[in-house]
Amino acid sequence: MIEELSIRDLGVIGEAVLPLGPGFTAVTGETGAGKTMVVSALGLLFGERADTGSVRSGAAQAWIEGRILVDSHGVVAERVRELGGDLDESAEAGAEAGAASSATDGEVILSRSVSAEGRSRAVVGGRSAPISVLSELGSSLVVVHGQSDQLRLKGQSAQRGALDNFGGAVLAARLAEYRSLFDSWQAHTAEIDALVTERSARIREAEQLRSAIDEITAVAPVDGEDDELTELAGRLTNLEDLRLAAAEARENISSETGDAPDTVGLIDAARRSLERVAHHDTALAPIVEALANASFLVSDISTQLASYAATLETDEVGELDRVQERRAQLTVLTRKYGPDLADVIAYAAEAEPRLLELDSDSDRIEQLSALVDDELAELGRLADELSALRRTAGEELSTLVTEELGALAMPNARFVVDVQPREDFGSSGRDLVQFLLRPHEGSEPRPLSKGASGGELSRVMLAIEVVLAAADPVPTFVFDEVDAGVGGASAIEIGRRLAVLARSSQVIVVTHLAQVAAFATNHLRVEKDQDGPVTASNVVQLDGEERLAEMARLLSGLPDSESGLAHAAELLETARALAVRH
């Protein structure tokens, strides 16, 4: 809901603040005062293309700002947060919204500037944003019905959506069931198409995987085997050097020839020398013990060297060739499926289930084809049910809107909801839904934008919105000259229906008829000042005597005429009585 609209240097409006708020706001004023600039300002605020000619003469730029009350958990609030904008979630915001909406517990400020050179800038919640964002937010916040083709329901998909909402819970449940099945049918159909289209590529992939699995299985690599083989190859390559080094080391530690002193003998000799004199000094005891331990340790090392040398002597002839051949096999695998042996083993493990999947393509296509046939039959049944429900809802909607048109000075007009089948299934069924208008007897029903004049079109949309309000609510409606070409009792009916619509949504109406303005809960007058070199207009909120005078001016052209004032008071009282009654 738009709580307040500020305008500066737009058209003839120099500077104005429009207090709007919930309910029904009527905007009136003399011809040329700039009433339509209010609608233009709303259009710019919600992303319409800017016209440099709309910038007030002599001004550098036009500027519009709106304080908007929104649901702090709704799509608009979420989008503002995504942009990094500020959202005021004060408790007062919800309280101010009144009966118009119980969910408006947050406030966001939108602004738009248009320079005289054509540059345009948008700000959302204090952050600069693309102009397209204003349009995106506007689609969730406001609907403008003007003299042009600004129709909320001008597209067939939007008209089908409105009809589905009007159709109620039964139609909604059937549509949800249909859409779920449609998504499944599309997914299975796409899978079949992919399997058939990519069959050649999948056959080649299967052949490649089969060849790879056979090659890897034939070698049967073991994780870590390549490191072990590298170490073994190094040992076998230097086998003679290792044998000689081990023998020489053992000879130095514990000589078997006796030709030269060895380490064990020298240590034992040292120990015996100290033992002879150790009883003279107790400090030698630990040294003697250490030499004894060293003798045991060195003897153990000699035994280990003998065992090590024995293993070298038992290596089979030709083992190095076998190791190098195995390493070569593993190298081939790692080059193809690596970069290392663990990757080769993982590749084989992943390839097997994929190969099984590829080899079962024919079976899968057969299964999917049967499933798609069953789903298609069920889709047809659900689509037929949807069509029947839509036709029933369409007949009811046609009747109700036609009745509304009769009370809106279009007694010979007939509203038609045309539901036609098509061959192809879509995400919402196979119905083409179109809202048509037969403006008078004997004429053929035509699309809304072609079947009515500007003023008639606004009334037709008012009739539709009043009927749809309960099932398809919109936060804010703006009607520009909805009363064009009517007067008297018909104008009163227009006002009454706008008041009915304002019970569930905010309604802003630019009007020149007192019969319409009388039903407003908030009355604004656009005034122009021609004292300066350039005409300037501002906006005044009317109440009491000022509103009565404006109503009299609308009725008779004279704001201080006694008969006009009396008629205005009577009209206001009639509007209050009708509003209470309905």
Average pLDDT of adjacent 10-residue blocks, the chain of 582 residues:
92 89 91 81 89 84 93 89 85 45 74 90 93 90 70 78 92 96 95 80 82 90 89 83 86 72 85 89 90 90 86 69 88 90 91 82 83 94 96 95 87 93 92 91 83 72 84 84 77 89 91 92 86 68 93 87 90 85 62
Question: 57 lies in a domain?
Answer: yes
The CA-atom distances, in angstroms, between 552 and each of 139, 513, 520, 558 are 37, 10, 15, 6
Question: 398 lies in a domain?
Answer: no
For residue 284, give both structure tokens: 């030698």
Asked if residue 387 lies in contact with residue 426, where contact means CB atoms within 8 angstroms, the answer is no
- Whether 105 and 217 share a structural domain: no
DSSP designation for 100: G
Which of 325, 358, 391 is at the close of a domain? 358
pLDDT of residue 96: 46
- C-alpha to C-alpha distance for 431 and 385, rounded to whole angstroms: 11
Question: 455 lies in a domain?
Answer: no
Q: Which of 16, 17, 23, 27 is closest to 1 using CA atoms?
A: 23
- Whether 143 and 213 share a structural domain: no
Asked if residue 336 lies in contact with residue 263, where contact means CB atoms within 8 angstroms, the answer is no
- Whether 1 and 144 share a structural domain: yes
pLDDT of residue 249: 87
- C-alpha to C-alpha distance for 227 and 241, rounded to whole angstroms: 22
The CATH number given to whatever domain includes residue 96 is 3.40.50.300
Which of 358, 391, 406 is at the close of a domain? 358
Q: Which of 543, 551, 462, 499 is closest to 19 using CA atoms?
A: 543
pLDDT of residue 104: 58
Question: 92 lies in a domain?
Answer: yes
- C-alpha to C-alpha distance for 456 and 49, rounded to whole angstroms: 25
pLDDT of residue 296: 92
- Whether 215 and 333 share a structural domain: yes
- Whether 139 and 212 share a structural domain: no
Q: Which of 416, 418, 412 is closest to 441 using CA atoms?
A: 412
- Whether 214 and 307 share a structural domain: yes
- Whether 35 and 104 share a structural domain: yes
The structural domain count of the chain equals 2
- Whether 18 and 131 share a structural domain: yes
pLDDT of residue 98: 45
Question: 482 lies in a domain?
Answer: yes
pLDDT of residue 183: 96
Question: 426 lies in a domain?
Answer: no
- The percent helix, strand, coil of the chain (3-state, each to 5) is 60, 20, 25
Question: 396 lies in a domain?
Answer: no
- Whether 36 and 128 share a structural domain: yes
Q: What is the pLDDT of residues 459-501, one digit of tens each?
A: 888 888 888 887 777 889 988 877 777 777 888 888 988 998 8
Q: Which of 531, 478, 535, 537 is closest to 8 using CA atoms?
A: 537
The CA-atom distances, in angstroms, between 278 and each of 217, 264, 291, 530 are 71, 21, 13, 131
- Whether 226 and 130 share a structural domain: no
pLDDT of residue 493: 87
DSSP designation for 278: G
> Which three-class secondary structure state does DSSP give residue 475?
coil
pLDDT of residue 363: 79
Question: 219 lies in a domain?
Answer: yes
Q: Which of 327, 360, 333, 332 is closest to 346 using CA atoms?
A: 333
- Whether 1 and 146 share a structural domain: yes
CA atoms within 13 A on the CB side of 500: 19
Q: Which of 293, 296, 292, 299 is closest to 253 using CA atoms?
A: 299
Q: How far is CA 548 from the centre of its chain?
A: 50
Q: What is the 3-state secondary structure (H, E, C) of 332-368?
A: HHHHHHCCCHHHHHHHHHHHHHHHHHHHCHHHHHHHH
Q: Which of 62, 150, 59 is closest to 112 using CA atoms?
A: 62
Q: Which of 524, 496, 500, 493 is closest to 511 using CA atoms?
A: 524
Which of 307, 329, 358 is at the close of a domain? 358
Domain region containing 116: 1-150+474-544
> Which three-class secondary structure state does DSSP give residue 155?
coil
Sole residue written with tokens 């703006």: 478
Q: Which CB contacts under 8 angstroms, 24+ apart, belong to 150-156?
A: 151/448, 151/449, 151/457, 151/461, 152/461, 152/474, 153/435, 153/448, 153/461, 153/464, 154/448, 154/449, 156/432, 156/433, 156/434
Q: Which CB contacts under 8 angstroms, 24+ apart, belong to 345-353?
A: 345/216, 345/221, 345/223, 347/212, 347/216, 348/212, 348/213, 348/216, 348/217, 351/209, 351/212, 351/213, 352/213
- Whether 248 and 129 share a structural domain: no
341-359 vs 361-407: helix crossing angle, rounded to 10: 70
